[in-house]
Amino acid sequence: MSANLLFVDQPVGTGFSNTVNNSFVGDLNEMANQFLSFLDRYVDVFPELLDNDIYSAGESFAGQYIPFIAKDILIKRSMLKLRGLLIGNGWIDPVTHYESYLPFTVAKNLVKANSTFYNDIANDNEKCQQVLSNKVLVLEETCSSILYGIVEC
């Protein structure tokens, strides 16, 4: 038995990939379409791989990408044998992620409960929750600053 392993910098403009005229993707649907275009060309070059099972994997923000790509493969390229998804430390629920920073750092003794630093982070967390209650965002600077503050302590 053998397997093939392919790494793809996705979306275009990340990692070692580049774009023409800074034409970065604007949303997850566009990103998934872009990836399907890549797969189409890949299978044109290596048609023998059509018989192989496909597993899509990624980490962090790929928690957003992988499901969109998988959905499009299943709907638009059903001849491909998508068999599974692997997402490590996926960014799939920003609200839960942001809310977990303070309790996690206290539980791991990175921040002492009720210290000045703790109170500063708790205040930032309140601001974050207020921002998120008004709109759903994938990335919110008010909330991201909480983690940056913890890392820098």
What are the tens digits of pLDDT across the range 77-116?
A: 999 999 999 999 888 887 888 889 899 999 999 999 999 9
Band of residue 131 on the pLDDT scale cut at 50, 70, 90: confident
Collapse the DSSP code of 55 into the 3-class scheme (helix H, G, I; strand E, B; otherwise coil) and give the result: strand
DSSP at 63: H
The domain spans of the chain are 1-92, 94-152
Active-site positions?
60
Q: What is the pTM of this model?
A: 0.70
Instruction: Express each pLDDT in 25-41 by its tens digit.
Output: 888 899 999 999 999 99
Cα distances from 68 to residues 63, 73, 80, 110, in angstroms, run 9, 9, 15, 35
150, 111 contact by CB (below 8 A): yes
138 pLDDT above the threshold of 70: no
| pLDDT score, position 150 | 84
Distance CA 138, CA 70 (A): 19
